[in-house]
Amino acid sequence: MTKAKLLLLISFLYFTPQVSAQKKETSLVRWMTLQEAQEAVKKQPKPILLDFYTDWCGWCKRMMATTYSDSSIAFYLNQNFYSVKFDAEGKDTVIFQGKEYKPTSAAPKTPHPLAVELLQGKLMYPSTLFLNGFDPKKNEFQIKLLAPGYLDREKIEPILVFTLENVYRNTSLEDFTAAFNTAFRDSTVSSKLLRLNWLFPENVFDGNYKGSKKKLVFMHTYWCNSCQVMQRGVFTDSLLIKPLEKFDLVDFNPELKKPLFWNDSLYQKLPQDKFPFHPLTLKFTKNNFVLPSLAILDEQDQIIDAIPFFLEPRVLSEILTYYGDDIYKKMSWTDFKKGL
């Protein structure tokens, strides 16, 4: 995961003016054909945005003139997605994932067989299909997320991050969207953030820190959008007030260059290191570093668990209760979940 693949979405919300509806059907997005996108994803994996439209669809034209003409949305798509416009009533023969799809009739307004299949028979326009996690061996995508209807700026932003940053691995789009809106559109978040006593790793892992609690280490960067959503929209949730009391909270930016001490060993980022982040993050994530990640340490600074990817408030609350109340010493996570 590199900075080149991720853009700071907060700039969408605060620094770029929204574009008003215009009487044009063009957009700022660089569109390609479905065939071009399939070839590109094999060479350089990226998510695919597949926009289904028709010539007579007024909301399709509006989406082109507003959402896809928004400079920040277009820039984000052009950097991180392969974007495809697909005429849902087109007459071209196309190949998708090795299967040929031919038009069934030359009559106007006859849906294309590929549109029927990918839209699962629900022919609503516009509809947008988000694809990610391409598996070249199986020639298929791990995630196929269908969003029917017109998507304005506020609706499409969380979907883009959800698709790009693998949020779908642990969380539903509905839960992520709720956290996203809290993170960036809730005026009370700033005051809630002040109530969280985050500590810096250079103060905690300095060889002298004498804390008596378990530690919750949150590894994130400021250019990772799902990290920001988790920091602002998850940790501030009321469900976490009590569970977080059992932990010292450590705000660990993996780009830190300061030396850290952990378990009597020194960890420091060196210029010749191939791994781009602080070496202690590899230890804390058991050599499975992704953004965001959590590490839970016991009172003796031993790693109890390492948890990758975004977590929504309910799940994180359960995890913190399981470890914070020492339930993990008495029963498995599976048994704990059964009792909830």
Q: What is the DSSP string of 298-327?
A: -TTS-EEEEEES---HHHHHHHHHHHHTTG
Q: Per DSSP, what are the bridge partners of residue 308?
A: 293
Distances (CA, A) of 123 to 37, 114, 174, 264, 312: 23, 11, 22, 62, 32
- Long-range CB pairs of 328-334, under 8 A, 24+ apart, other chains included: 328/304
pLDDT at 42: 92
Q: Is the Cβ–Cβ distance between 240 and 316 less than 8 Å? A: yes
Q: Categorise residue 286: left if φ over 0, alpha if ψ from -120 to 50, beta otherwise.
A: left
pLDDT score at 20: 39
User: Beta strand 260-262 with 293-297: parallel, antiparallel or unpaired?
Assistant: unpaired
**Over the chain (340 residues), what is each successive 10-residue block's mean pLDDT?**
41 40 66 96 96 97 96 97 98 95 94 97 96 90 95 97 94 97 95 95 94 96 96 97 97 96 94 93 96 97 97 98 98 94
* 229 CB neighbour count, 10 Å cutoff: 30
Identify the structural domains of the chain with CATH numbers, from first to last. 3-164 (3.40.30.10), 189-338 (3.40.30.10)
Q: What is the pLDDT of residue 22?
A: 39
- Bridge partners of 128? 51, 147
